[in-house]
């Protein structure tokens, strides 16, 4: 059927008003996509849209940092298994090999009426579709006494970069008899097994240095955690006198954190640490909220069939900022969601075919040298557009060292593969 302009405009108006399927912008000069945030989600989305669009779509990536330091494998850096350089990556190839325009800057707001992204330097960039992938920001007020400033003394290191280096520096200054205190965050947060892998790496460092009198105490606001049986078994075997995990019914709640004094006060007791690793509650990266894309949970509702925002048809939200049903907030998930969003963006803008989504995730955690455990799943979207797990797997307790070593090598291979998939 051939449409005249009036019929076309009527369909466009209906599609925006009722959130029906968008009309392809076929025939327009060169459609524009802006991606906000160049992490596991955003870098992958930018690369796939540019690569598969073969020069027919203008792709701009706005990223606040000049390089990307991954949170994934940052615990291995803390444990001495990786260098900082090996977890830090450049955006150069996205520009040179895929034609993505990478802008080093901070996006302050999406003007959804004008379809433009505003930057802190006052400039703005027009878009036909925008992919929002800012990761997380912190709710510092979730912990009495803690603040953005206090994070310089008691780092969360839950966004990688200077915070990771700070925690590494503090850990390396530890002497025998001094302790580490970690405050683990409430659900939902990025990387559910992350705090417990980190505690393992801290204990590994203490053991490797030959310290006999230092402890890692985890004060948790949750009564249970991801891969708990596997971590508990590993800690019993490798760090029986080093790691202590205290759930809320034991410590009774955190009353105050004094980063300067190195003290966490709880209902039960006062814990002193030469290193405090305080991880606050999280929410979607600020731009998602300032642009009206979040709901009362602080994260962004999306249609799991496409990763399209449920609030605005021209917006896709991927990675930690999205509410992705059964998928955990992980780099693997963000990368997987990015490819579905990229396919749908291209479908909107060039009419290319769009398929039902298949997502995947595996989270590996290193407990001690060559001893990794994993949990993962395959996912699809149900009729309500919620992401649901179709099949799941998890390492077993009591596994052989060979299997654990194989899982570790798998994780190293995965790291190389995801970084290549993000940055080319
Ligand atoms: C200690 C730790 C260990 C982890 N280990 C694993 C693991 O082993 N496997 C795994 O799969 N996942 C792991 N994760 C989780 C993983 O790092 C995150 O889930 C993943 O990075 C999410 O991707 P994202 O694209 O949503 O956010 P990010 O990767 O954080 O990327 C967001 C990017 O957006 C930029 N940005 C934000 N706001 C703006 C703005 N307004 N303007 C411009 N730029 C902006 C940021 O600078 C950042 O580069 C781990 C996390 C932690 C903390």
Q: Is 45 in the pocket of ligand 1 (CB under 6 A)?
A: no
- How far, in Å, is the centroid of ligand 1 from the Cα of 140? 18
Segment 150-161, tens digit of pLDDT: 999 999 999 999
Residue 285's H or E segment, with its range, is none
Q: Which of 157, 136, 139, 135 is nearest to 278 (CA)?
A: 157
- How far, in Å, is the centroid of ligand 1 from the Cα of 46? 15
What percent of the residues of the chain are helix, what percent strand, and what percent coil, each to the nearest 5? 35, 25, 40
- How far, in Å, is the centroid of ligand 1 from the Cα of 252? 31
Cα angle, residue 98 at apex, residues 92 and 104 outer, rounded to 5°: 40
pLDDT number for residue 25? 55
* Rg over CA atoms, the chain: 23
Q: Is 193 in the pocket of ligand 1 (CB under 6 A)?
A: no
Cα(424)–Cα(414) distance, integer angstroms: 15
Burial bucket for residue 353 (CB in 10 Å: 0-12, 13-18, 19+): exposed
3-state secondary structure (DSSP) of residue 165: helix
Atom of ligand 1 nearest to the CA of 108: 41
Segment 395-419, tens digit of pLDDT: 999 999 999 999 999 999 999 999 9
- How far, in Å, is the centroid of ligand 1 from the Cα of 200? 21
Contacts of 115 (CB under 8 A, 6+ apart): 126, 127, 128, 130, 314
Atom of ligand 1 nearest to the CA of 411: 8
Q: Which of 345, 347, 217 is nearest to 270 (CA)?
A: 217
Q: Is 320 in the pocket of ligand 1 (CB under 6 A)?
A: yes
Q: Is 79 in the pocket of ligand 1 (CB under 6 A)?
A: no
Q: pLDDT at residue 14 above 70?
A: no
Atom of ligand 1 nearest to the CA of 361: 11
Going across the sheet that includes 315-317, the strands are 101-104, 58-63, 32-36, 129-132, 315-317, 308-309, 300-303, 322-323
Segment 254-284, tens digit of pLDDT: 999 999 999 999 999 999 999 999 999 999 9
Atom of ligand 1 nearest to the CA of 44: 25
Question: Whose alpha carbon is nearest atom 15 of ligand 1?
Answer: 330
pLDDT number for residue 26? 55
Atom of ligand 1 nearest to the CA of 198: 1
DSSP one-letter code for 4: P
- How far, in Å, is the centroid of ligand 1 from the Cα of 407? 23
Distances 11 to 19, 24, 375 between C-alpha atoms, Å: 11, 11, 45
Q: pLDDT at residue 378 above 70?
A: yes
Pull the structure tokens for residue 340.
């579905």
pTM: 0.94
Sign, Cα dihedral of 136, 141, 142, 146:
positive
Q: Is 68 in the pocket of ligand 1 (CB under 6 A)?
A: yes
End-to-end CA distance of the chain: 41
Q: Is 294 in the pocket of ligand 1 (CB under 6 A)?
A: no
Please give the mean pLDDT across all residues of the chain.
Answer: 94
Angle at which helix 331-350 crosses helix 401-423, to 10 degrees, equals 30
- How far, in Å, is the centroid of ligand 1 from the Cα of 39? 5
Q: Is 72 in the pocket of ligand 1 (CB under 6 A)?
A: yes
- How far, in Å, is the centroid of ligand 1 from the Cα of 318? 11
Structural domains in the chain, sorted by start: 5-135+285-355 (3.50.50.60), 143-280 (3.50.50.60)
Pull the structure tokens for residue 364.
């590996």
Confirm if 354 and 387 have CB atoms less than 8 A apart.
no
pLDDT number for residue 7? 42
Q: Is 319 in the pocket of ligand 1 (CB under 6 A)?
A: yes
Question: Whose alpha carbon is nearest atom 23 of ligand 1?
Answer: 40
Q: Is 334 in the pocket of ligand 1 (CB under 6 A)?
A: yes
Query: Where does 263-370 show beta strands of DSSP type E?
Result: 263-266, 270-272, 275-278, 281-284, 300-303, 308-309, 315-317, 322-323, 359-368
Segment 173-200, tens digit of pLDDT: 999 999 999 999 999 999 999 999 999 9
Query: Where does 27-179 show beta strands of DSSP type E?
Result: 32-36, 58-63, 67-69, 88-90, 101-104, 107-111, 116-119, 124-126, 129-132, 136-139
pLDDT number for residue 314? 98
pLDDT number for residue 101? 98
Q: Is 185 in the pocket of ligand 1 (CB under 6 A)?
A: no
- How far, in Å, is the centroid of ligand 1 from the Cα of 379? 21
**Which of 34, 36, 42 to mutate to test ligand 1, by most ligand atoms within 8 A of the CB atom?**
42
Q: pLDDT at residue 365 above 90?
A: yes
Q: pLDDT at residue 226 above 90?
A: yes
Q: Is 62 in the pocket of ligand 1 (CB under 6 A)?
A: yes
Q: Is 64 in the pocket of ligand 1 (CB under 6 A)?
A: yes
**Which of 101, 291, 334 to mutate to test ligand 1, by most ligand atoms within 8 A of the CB atom?**
334
């Amino acid at each position: 059927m051939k449409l005249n302009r009036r019929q076309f405009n009527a369909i466009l108006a209906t599609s925006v008003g009722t959130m029906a399927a968008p009309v392809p912008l076929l025939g327009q000069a060169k459609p524009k996509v802006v991606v906000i945030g160049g992490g596991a989600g955003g870098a992958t989305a930018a690369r796939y849209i540019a690569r598969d669009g073969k020069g027919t779509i203008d792709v701009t990536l706005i990223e606040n940092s000049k390089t990307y330091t991954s949170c994934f494998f940052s615990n291995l850096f803390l444990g001495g298994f990786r260098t900082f350089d090996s977890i830090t990556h450049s955006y150069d190839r996205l520009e040179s090999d895929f034609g993505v325009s990478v802008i080093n800057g901070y996006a302050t707001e999406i003007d959804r009426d004008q379809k433009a992204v505003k930057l802190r330097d006052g400039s703005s960039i027009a878009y036909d579709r925008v992919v929002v992938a800012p990761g997380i920001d912190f709710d510092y007020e979730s912990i009495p006494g803690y603040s953005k400033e206090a994070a310089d003394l008691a780092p969360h290191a839950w966004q990688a970069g200077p915070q990771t280096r700070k925690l590494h520096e503090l850990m390396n200054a530890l002497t025998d008899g001094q302790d580490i205190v970690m405050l683990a965050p409430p659900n939902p947060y990025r990387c559910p097994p992350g705090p417990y892998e980190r505690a393992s790496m801290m204990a590994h460092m203490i053991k490797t240095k030959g310290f006999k009198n230092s402890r890692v105490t985890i004060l948790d606001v949750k009564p249970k955690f991801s891969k708990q049986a596997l971590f508990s078994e590993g800690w019993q075997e490798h760090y029986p006198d080093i790691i202590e995990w205290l759930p809320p019914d034991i410590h009774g709640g955190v009353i105050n954190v004094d980063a300067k004094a190195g003290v966490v006060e709880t209902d039960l007791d006062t814990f002193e640490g030469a290193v405090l690793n305080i991880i606050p509650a999280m929410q979607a990266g600020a731009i998602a909220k300032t642009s009206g894309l979040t709901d009362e949970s602080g994260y962004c509702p999306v249609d799991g069939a496409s990763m399209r925002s449920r609030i605005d048809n021209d917006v896709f939200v991927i990675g930690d900022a999205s509410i992705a049903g059964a998928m955990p907030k992980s780099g693997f998930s963000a990368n997987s969601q990015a490819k579905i969003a990229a396919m749908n963006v291209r479908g909107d803008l060039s009419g290319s075919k769009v398929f039902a989504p298949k997502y995947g995730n595996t989270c590996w955690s290193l407990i001690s040298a060559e001893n990794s455990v994993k949990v993962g799943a395959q996912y699809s979207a149900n009729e309500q557009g919620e992401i649901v797990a179709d099949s799941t797997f998890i390492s077993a307790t009591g596994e052989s060292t060979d299997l654990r070593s194989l899982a570790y090598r798998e994780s190293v291979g995965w790291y190389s593969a995801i970084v290549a998939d993000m940055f080319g």
